[in-house]
Chain A
Amino acid sequence: MKPEWRKYLGVRAPRYTSYPSALHFDEQATAADYERRLGEVGLYEPLSLYVHIPFCRQLCWYCGCNMRVENDYSRALRYVRALNTEIQTVGRHLGGAGRPLSVHFGGGTPNYLKVAEIGDILGAIELALGLTDGTRLAIELDPRLIADGDIERLAGLGFNRMSLGVQDFDAEVQAAINRLQSFEMIESAVGEMRRVGVNDISFDLLYGLPKQTHDSFTETLEKTIALSPDRVAVFGYAHLPSALPRQRLLDETLLPPEETRADLAGRADDMLVASGYRRVGFDHYAKPDNLLARADLEGRLRRNFQGFTDDVADTMLGFGASAIGYVGGLYAQNAKTLGDYYRRTDSQELATMRGLILSPREMAIGRTIRELLCRSQADIAALLASLAPTEANAVCARLDALEADGLISWEGDLVALAPEARPLSRVVAMALDPYEKAMAGNSLRSLARAV
């Protein structure tokens, strides 16, 4: 990385999985807003569904998700009942409109649930929202909770994309984050997935974890490449103990310095690309024949709450505690606590507690930022036109500075990311975002480093 770019390494930037980010959501957006927009969904409008399972068997010390450690399975069954009710409630408001193209189970740990419960949730979706044999089903799996026969049963339900939270293969790193899982465990899970015909396997890797070194991460990458997953996501660990108290369990003194973080990210990039993976967005890699790589190649890459995706649906419905949906310019987030979530679902109400109704200018900014992140270039004319003159000037001044440092090229209305500046994509995105400056006080506490 160029020396003059070092100053950007420590910059805190939103991940821009939504725009504006969930930090901007408030209680002005209500269940009534969500209900109205569900009623406006078109007959065959594509839907992308997300189902949140907030339970885990054990706490990982790096975790920033909405989850709880749960040892009583009857509580999970209680949650599944609430989910089924929520799905029916949403189905009632849709009244037959909308067609799910994909369902993504995330968490927490979706396979905290037994396969039978996952099947029940799919059954509820089928009856309330429609599910056909072509609907793409994806699930995040904790390798430590995969029991004999689970993978085969999940494939039998139609899951054709499975994602493993690998994080790091090194035993010392795993001990430092409280997530012990052997290479053999992952290897056997992958073998089982291949055996039953799952041809879209993803690994999530994390860099910036305690105890990680150039050599240890190189070994993690070698093992990853040996298992040959179809996609690899390489995320930077966001250490935000003041916003996420459970991260205080993790020994801060073992965290690698900024320079090492950049080196680890660079190492992953070098090795994965050398092994034939295609770079997708700023933190995903996919084999050239994978759907995600093809979407990128054909300019169809999108960004949603799951990161970079080939999903084509504009409308997203989130189910479960804290899940976020997007319908007709509205972000709607469900109640975060189980108590609030159950109160709403038990009375057959929508569970929306927070959200945001986007203004045309927020839509214009969001479109431009997504374009930049997904295509590495963006036409900024619509964005500038939507801003007040002082804001537009500020955006231009920030872009000028980035151009002077060589992160971007800027011709007319077209801003293009320099190829080597890909890891700093979010810094460039933030320059286009008039909100972030207003949030500066907040950002240090709640935003992750750009690299």
Chain B
Amino acid sequence: MPLIRLAAGLNRPGKMGERLETAEKHCKAQDRPKSCDLCEVRGQSICADLGPREFLHVEKTMARRAVVKNKTLMIEGEPNESLYIVVDGSFRLSKVLEDGRRQVTGFLFKGDFVGVRSTKASAYTAEALEDSSVCYFPHRYLDEIAIDAPGVKDRLIARGQTEYHKAQDHIVLLGKKTAEERVISFIDLISKNIGSSDGPSRRRVPLPMSRQDIADYLGLRLETLSRTLAALKQDGSLLELARHYVVIAA
């Protein structure tokens, strides 16, 4: 019974257990969905490639949890033994640099993955930017499934973006020559992930993260970011500029 095995895992002594228990307290609903059939991201990307038999395995081992805004899914330097898929909401990935400052390294949206490998020390902290929910698969069970259904893990993550893709996105953005290019490329990136139509030839791009997060991510000072956003609004590149969204031409 996967649920019982999972619960046993949670009660294991040690840091991992403690952290999950802490995470537990921040979870509104840690029950797994009645059926993955109801999952809104399933057909969209994540589990769509799985065969019926593989899917049965996956459905048994996964669990859904809600992560309240500002709470962490995984913490840099602490063990992580699960693969997480963002089902709803968004997360900020960050790491602490040698001088103690936080570097924003990426953002996770619906359909993205984090925790691709089981590790004793996570390379990132993942923090919810809004009330969010994830499905998680303990690597231990994914490995067990692999005996019966080889390659299932690879195929699970094949279609979503992982933290490694995020690093690629980031270096491309940081290589842009001007602040305008950097900000526009960033908005395009978010648009591809979670943008939605906002009437004829308009696309609404949510920005669930703070301006400071965006500035840190893009290697810009806050003042430069604000100035650049204002200039992009002025020249018409942004049709609307609001605190938590922008509208661009589709």
Interface residues, chain A, CB within 8 Å of chain B? Answer: 43-44, 46, 88, 95-97, 99, 101, 123, 126-134, 158, 311-313
Beta-carbon contact of B178 and A127 below 8 Å:
yes
Given contacts A95-B171, A96-B171, A126-B224, contact A133 B219 (CB under 8 A): no
B residues 138-176 near A (Cβ < 8 Å) are 167, 170-176
Distance of A123 Cα from B95 Cα, bound (Å): 25
Could you say which residues of chain A place their CB within 8 Å of the CB of B172? Answer: 96
Indicate if B235 sits at the interface (CB-CB under 8 A).
no
Given contacts A43-B167, A95-B171, A127-B179, contact A132 B98 (CB under 8 A): no
Stretch at the interface among B37-45, B99-107, B202-210: B99-107
Beta-carbon contact of B175 and A158 below 8 Å:
no
Beta-carbon contact of B173 and A96 below 8 Å:
yes
Indicate if B215 sits at the interface (CB-CB under 8 A).
yes
Beta-carbon contact of A101 and B101 below 8 Å:
yes
Indicate if B222 sits at the interface (CB-CB under 8 A).
yes
Query: Which residue of A has the minimal Cβ distance to B176?
Result: A96
Contact of B221 among A46, A131, A311, A312 (CB under 8 A): A131
Point out which of A128, A132, A158 has the most chain B C-beta atoms below 10 A from its C-beta. A132
Indicate if B216 sits at the interface (CB-CB under 8 A).
yes
22 example contacts (A-B, Cβ-Cβ < 8 A) are as follows A44-B97, A88-B177, A96-B171, A96-B172, A96-B176, A97-B171, A101-B98, A101-B99, A126-B179, A127-B177, A127-B179, A128-B177, A129-B219, A131-B220, A132-B215, A132-B219, A132-B220, A133-B215, A133-B221, A158-B221, A311-B99, A312-B99
Distance of A14 Cα from B225 Cα, bound (Å): 45
Beta-carbon contact of A132 and B179 below 8 Å:
no
Given contacts A101-B97, A101-B101, A133-B215, contact A43 B170 (CB under 8 A): yes
Question: Could you tell me the distance in whole angstroms from the C-beta of B115 to the nearest C-beta in chain A?
Answer: 19
Distance of A88 Cα from B177 Cα, bound (Å): 9
Could you say which residues of chain B place their CB within 8 Å of the CB of A126? Answer: 179, 219-221, 224
Distance of A333 Cα from B174 Cα, bound (Å): 26
Beta-carbon contact of B97 and A132 below 8 Å:
no
Distance of A130 Cα from B101 Cα, bound (Å): 14
Distance of A123 Cα from B227 Cα, bound (Å): 13
Could you say which residues of chain A place their CB within 8 Å of the CB of B30? Answer: none
Could you say which residues of chain A place their CB within 8 Å of the CB of B177? Answer: 88, 127-128
Contact of B171 among A43, A123, A313 (CB under 8 A): A43
Binary per-residue interface labels of chain B (13-33) against chain A in the complex, 1 for a CB within 8 Å, 0 otherwise: 000000000000000000000
Interface residues, chain B, CB within 8 Å of chain A? Answer: 95, 97-99, 101, 103, 105, 167, 170-179, 212, 215-216, 218-222, 224
Could you say which residues of chain A place their CB within 8 Å of the CB of B97? Answer: 44, 46, 99, 101
Question: Could you tell me the distance in whole angstroms from the C-beta of A35 to the nearest C-beta in chain B?
Answer: 16
Query: Which residue of B has the minimal Cβ distance to A48?
Result: B99
Distance of A72 Cα from B167 Cα, bound (Å): 47
Query: Which residue of A has the minimal Cβ distance to B220?
Result: A126
Question: Could you tell me the distance in whole angstroms from the C-beta of A432 to the nearest C-beta in chain B?
Answer: 27
Distance of A130 Cα from B216 Cα, bound (Å): 9
Could you say which residues of chain B place their CB within 8 Å of the CB of A311? Answer: 99
Point out which of A96, A311, A313 has the most chain B C-beta atoms below 10 A from its C-beta. A96
Beta-carbon contact of B175 and A96 below 8 Å:
yes
Question: Could you tell me the distance in whole angstroms from the C-beta of A90 to the nearest C-beta in chain B?
Answer: 13
Point out which of B171, B178, B219 has the most chain A C-beta atoms below 10 A from its C-beta. B219
For the A-B complex with A130-B174, A311-B99 known, give 10 more contacts whose Cβ atoms are closer than 8 Å. A43-B167, A44-B103, A96-B170, A97-B171, A97-B174, A99-B103, A127-B178, A128-B177, A130-B219, A133-B212
Beta-carbon contact of A99 and B219 below 8 Å:
yes
Could you say which residues of chain B place their CB within 8 Å of the CB of A46? Answer: 97-99
Query: Which residue of A has the minimal Cβ distance to B170?
Result: A43
Distance of A82 Cα from B58 Cα, bound (Å): 59
Point out which of A88, A126, A127 has the most chain B C-beta atoms below 10 A from its C-beta. A127
Distance of A132 Cα from B220 Cα, bound (Å): 5
Question: Could you tell me the distance in whole angstroms from the C-beta of A155 to the nearest C-beta in chain B?
Answer: 14
Question: Could you tell me the distance in whole angstroms from the C-beta of B213 to the nearest C-beta in chain A?
Answer: 11
Query: Which residue of B has the minimal Cβ distance to A123?
Result: B224
Could you say which residues of chain B place their CB within 8 Å of the CB of A131? Answer: 219-221
Given contacts A46-B97, A312-B99, A313-B98, contact A130 B173 (CB under 8 A): no
Could you say which residues of chain A place their CB within 8 Å of the CB of B101? Answer: 101, 132, 134
Query: Which residue of B has the minimal Cβ distance to A98?
Result: B174
Distance of A88 Cα from B221 Cα, bound (Å): 18
Distance of A101 Cα from B98 Cα, bound (Å): 9
Distance of A330 Cα from B129 Cα, bound (Å): 42
Could you say which residues of chain A place their CB within 8 Å of the CB of B212? Answer: 133
Question: Could you tell me the distance in whole angstroms from the C-beta of A232 to the nearest C-beta in chain B?
Answer: 23
Query: Which residue of A has the minimal Cβ distance to B100?
Result: A312
Could you say which residues of chain A place their CB within 8 Å of the CB of B179? Answer: 126-127
Could you say which residues of chain B place their CB within 8 Å of the CB of A133? Answer: 212, 215-216, 221-222
Distance of A101 Cα from B101 Cα, bound (Å): 9
Could you say which residues of chain A place their CB within 8 Å of the CB of B167? Answer: 43
Question: Could you tell me the distance in whole angstroms from the C-beta of B171 to the nearest C-beta in chain A?
Answer: 4
Query: Which residue of A has the minimal Cβ distance to B105?
Result: A44
Beta-carbon contact of A44 and B95 below 8 Å:
yes
Question: Could you tell me the distance in whole angstroms from the C-beta of B128 to the nearest C-beta in chain A?
Answer: 22
Distance of A99 Cα from B175 Cα, bound (Å): 12
Distance of A158 Cα from B223 Cα, bound (Å): 11
Question: Could you tell me the distance in whole angstroms from the C-beta of A126 to the nearest C-beta in chain B?
Answer: 6
Could you say which residues of chain A place their CB within 8 Å of the CB of B99? Answer: 46, 101, 311-313
Query: Which residue of A has the minimal Cβ distance to B104?
Result: A132
Distance of A44 Cα from B170 Cα, bound (Å): 10
Query: Which residue of B has the minimal Cβ distance to A136?
Result: B99
Query: Which residue of A has the minimal Cβ distance to B219?
Result: A130
Distance of A358 Cα from B23 Cα, bound (Å): 48
Could you say which residues of chain A place their CB within 8 Å of the CB of B176? Answer: 96
Distance of A312 Cα from B97 Cα, bound (Å): 9
Distance of A289 Cα from B185 Cα, bound (Å): 42
Query: Which residue of A has the minimal Cβ distance to B212?
Result: A133
Beta-carbon contact of A312 and B171 below 8 Å:
no
Beta-carbon contact of B216 and A132 below 8 Å:
yes
Distance of A96 Cα from B217 Cα, bound (Å): 12
